A and B are shown apart, each in its own frame.
Chain A
Amino acid sequence: MSPFQLEIQLVAAVVAVACALPGTFLVLRQMAMMSDAISHAILPGIVIGFFLTGNLSSPILILGGAATGLLTVVLVEWMRKTNRVREDAAIGLVFSALFATGVILIARYAGDVHLDTDAVLLGELAFAPFDRLEIAGYDLGPQSLYSTGSVGLLCAAFIMLFYKELKLATFDSALCATLGFLPGLLHYALMGLISMTAVAAFDAVGSILVVALMVGPPISAYLLTNRLDRMILYSILLAVTAAVSGYWIAYLLDASIAGCMAAIVGVQFGILLCVAPNQGLLAAWQRRKRQRWQFAIKMLVIHLLQHEGTPEAERECRVDHLQEHLAWEKPFAANVVSRAAAQRLLYPVGESLELTVTGRELAREAIVHH
């Protein structure tokens, strides 16, 4: 592995962490599409910053981008509040208008400088090591490592400092407000961080991969756990894995690095969707299979309990009646009855079924704890 390759992977991993951290909160707050909106809307901010500084990795660019990101949030909020346009439409309108402005600015005024729309949308990680930070003649490594690294640290610091408040604002915004934690301010702070991350990362990976890394790993992690701290941890691990393995696959295929990383994010989700311990499709299928019998047994005992001692009991509590009224197939009904009998919940009396004491209790319990 050449030092260049190592540096590329390092930058990729740092970007992955910087995206996954605020992305977790975006997904939980059901605002994942804001990452898409912001990562597109920062374009005019970047372009103007670039005109001012002539440098794509200047901190002013990050501030300019963050300002446009916040402008997006404010505009969406304003449009929503007018009640004339719904929030989802407002998001789509605002970011595309800003992005279109950015594209036009580039086309008109940046024709011959190193800034084109492809670069913003797609990024080129392979070039990251060429743009180096030098202080007093010392080579300190790729510049993007420092810009994404500092934004990543900022995200980490923000989340660690305000973990409790963010958690509260995410799960119970009303309570958060009554406790005086200003969920609105937290919201804007989070959006500001997302904007800064998007600006710092676009140069390396492009805005679409920013969306992939902000949304993909958190939703995959959401399949694995219910706990916020675990979810953040898993998101980071998944994002870094996707970034590094995506790089190597791109290297082997000689394809777009950002594209491969996004594809790996998709593969990760696909695998976890199938095999995740509780939320996964396989687990759900097995659980359903197991619960199907338990559910059927409960249904049977409740049915028997409801009709116990009533005039129609003799008719209702027969095995053949179950097929007819519960719409059960004959073998299924027989199977449920024999399972229930094995658990000593009922016993057959001639053609009809009667509950045991345990069976009656189970039925009552099922009715109360529905």
Chain B
Amino acid sequence: MANAIEVRDLTVAYRESPVLWDIDLDVPSGVLMAVVGPNGAGKTTLIKTILSLIKPAAGQVRIFGQSYRSVASSVGYVPQRGSVDWDFPTSAIDVVLMGLYGRLGWVRRPGRSERAEALAALGQVGIAELAHRQISQLSGGQQQRVFLARALVQDARIYLMDEPLQGVDATTERTIIDILRTLRSLGKTVVVVHHDLQTVSSYFDEVLLLNVRRIASGPVSEVFTEASLRLTYGGRVAIIRDAT
């Protein structure tokens, strides 16, 4: 099957300093891919550029061989939890409904069927009973699940997630990983910015090692080696994988 995402010679710069240099990347369809790299490596920038939230200085991104705009409805996005104000006066189900705004089109409001969908998505992440709770009264893990549910209702073919496992409790982490696996079994492609090197090989099929440029990418078993980690983190890797 064709690649879900193809990134070619992508260079991104803030003002005049480059954040990503000449990235090439193929994400095969139907895999779970981790994006790993030190702080400031450009992981979030890469995700945002794929979503065309950031305009690249050069290069291009293709999703199923097309531009983002034409396939936007088949891409789901889970931003970093810290990117929004959780004191906003709204409930969990309202946030999940926002995932349907793209499909609804202008002026139309979400109706009964949309609410049922949102509730189902909340059930899928295990917090259906919190649907009407104000979002600031949710724990960090629950907030992360709300974001995940919002992406699930988008019913996308590709999911891009920015640090969904950052700072969540163990139960939430298990739930999220289960959902990622379910998504994969449904043939979806999931790209996850990830910070915990120890869990990369157990959670993911593929990995992209990133530090401003692409250090390596491919199946975890081939690519996720001590040598490439050293290259990525500049010899500052404290974690050595168990010999498997």
Contacts and interface: CB of A to CB of B under 8 A. Distances in A.
Is there a contact between chains A and B in the complex with CB atoms less than 8 Å apart? yes
Given A295-B57, A327-B60, A328-B58, A303 B22 contact: yes
Interface residues of B, number: 17
Contact of A325 (B9, B16, B57): B9
A370 B9 contact: no
B59 interface: yes
A288 B57 CA distance: 13
Given A299-B11, A325-B8, A326-B9, A366 B58 contact: no
Nearest to A83: B87
A299 B22 contact: yes
Interface in B10-43: 11, 13, 16-19, 21-22, 24
B212 interface: yes
Contacts of B19: 370
A210 to B, nearest CB: 33
B213 interface: yes
Interface residues of B, dominant DSSP: strand
A302 interface: yes
Given A288-B16, A299-B11, A370 B21 contact: yes
Interface of A: 287-288, 291, 295, 298-299, 302-303, 306, 325-328, 366-367, 370
Given A303-B22, A367-B212, A370-B18, A295 B9 contact: no
A236 B24 CA distance: 53
Contacts of A326: 9, 11, 58-59
A298 B18 CA distance: 10
B209 to A, nearest CB: 14
Given A291-B16, A295-B18, A299-B58, 16 more contacts: A287-B16, A295-B13, A299-B11, A299-B21, A299-B57, A303-B9, A303-B22, A325-B59, A325-B60, A326-B9, A326-B11, A326-B58, A328-B58, A366-B18, A367-B213, A370-B21
A281 to B, nearest CB: 14
Nearest to B23: A306
Interface of B: 8-9, 11, 13, 16-19, 21-22, 24, 57-60, 212-213
A291 B212 CA distance: 19
A367 B21 CA distance: 7
A327 B213 contact: no
A370 B18 CA distance: 6
B12 to A, nearest CB: 11
A-B pairs with lowest CB-CB distance, top 5: A326-B58, A325-B9, A370-B212, A302-B22, A303-B22
Contacts of A327: 58-60
Contacts of B22: 299, 302-303, 306
A327 B9 CA distance: 9
A302 B213 contact: yes
A370 B11 contact: no
Central interface residue in B19, B21, B212, B213, by most chain A CB within 10 Å: B21
B22 to A, nearest CB: 5
B57 A366 contact: no
A328 B17 CA distance: 19
A10 B126 CA distance: 72
B43 to A, nearest CB: 14
Contacts of A295: 13, 16, 18, 57
A299 B57 CA distance: 10
Contacts of B16: 287-288, 291, 295
Contacts of B13: 295
Nearest to A328: B58
Nearest to A370: B212
Nearest to A296: B58
Nearest to A288: B16
Contacts of B57: 295, 299
Contacts of A306: 22, 24, 213
A291 B9 CA distance: 19
B68 to A, nearest CB: 15
A327 B60 CA distance: 7
Contacts of A302: 21-22, 213
A370 B210 CA distance: 13
A325 B60 CA distance: 7
